[in-house]
A = this chain, B = another copy of it.
């Protein structure tokens, strides 16, 4: 996260420091306005007025609407990064599903997430910002859950003999690789896309609630399917 850096390089800076309270007020005002008027009708002038700051202050910290909204939403993802160990892979998946759904339950998250993703289609810098602030944190939960399941013996440990994905060779810049140092990161990424994608689609497109019942069904589907991917990995 973090706005425009005012100081040039190193830490020590002179002069009047930026108000951290203003930062919080601006981000909160952004979320509030987002929930009320939506993305397209959101104006920076309105945000500044809600936050009780001048419009120019806003532009001194964020280049534009997109970046501000990303930071405003990213703050919601900062709070609860860890996930308690619920004792089984199935329960952990249910936990992460409900955790993610809880975030999407806030109207400002719903509106903002889709909007910034749409904007990121034409803005590489914005995509990186989203990845660092939001996506990587969610993906970390998947890696964590997989490692726990391996420790429990629910799924086999990483097999060094398991050949790397031929279509995703171990390229240093390969986004399939950096996460957990696993031998087969494509499984983590597949699960990540399935879990996060299904929850988002359920909430945003199908407009149906993600409740305990649905989470149980999705987790059941995945646990059984994951077992199949390991036991009969060359079946398909």
**Residue A2 interfacial (CB < 8 Å):** no
**A207 neighbours in B (Cβ, 8 Å):** 127, 175
Chain A interface: which size bin?
A: 35 or more
Which of A200, A201, A204, A207 is most buried by chain B, counting CB atoms within 10 A of its CB? A201
Asked whether A219 lies within 8 Å of B236 as measured between CB atoms, the reply is yes
Asked whether B194 lies within 8 Å of A198 as measured between CB atoms, the reply is yes
Asked whether A193 lies within 8 Å of B206 as measured between CB atoms, the reply is yes
Of residues 190 through 213 on chain A, the ones whose CB sits less than 8 Å from some CB of chain B are 190, 192-194, 196-202, 204-208, 211, 213
**A30 neighbours in B (Cβ, 8 Å):** none
Given A122-B37, A224-B225, check contact A205 B213 (CB 8 Å).
Answer: no
Q: Which residue of B lies closest to A199 (CB)?
A: B197
**A202 neighbours in B (Cβ, 8 Å):** 193, 197
Of residues 12 through 70 on chain A, the ones whose CB sits less than 8 Å from some CB of chain B are 37-40, 65-66
Which of A111, A121, A204 is most buried by chain B, counting CB atoms within 10 A of its CB? A121
Asked whether B224 lies within 8 Å of A222 as measured between CB atoms, the reply is no
Q: Which residue of B lies closest to A165 (CB)?
A: B213
From B118, B189, B218, A190 is in contact (CB under 8 Å) with B218
A47 to B130: give the CA distance in the assembly, Å: 29
Of residues 112 through 126 on chain A, the ones whose CB sits less than 8 Å from some CB of chain B are 112-115, 117-123
**Residue A99 interfacial (CB < 8 Å):** no
Given A115-B115, A121-B107, check contact A201 B206 (CB 8 Å).
Answer: no
Q: Which residue of B lies closest to A124 (CB)?
A: B207
Q: Which residue of B lies closest to A123 (CB)?
A: B38
**A107 neighbours in B (Cβ, 8 Å):** 121
From B122, B204, B218, A111 is in contact (CB under 8 Å) with B122
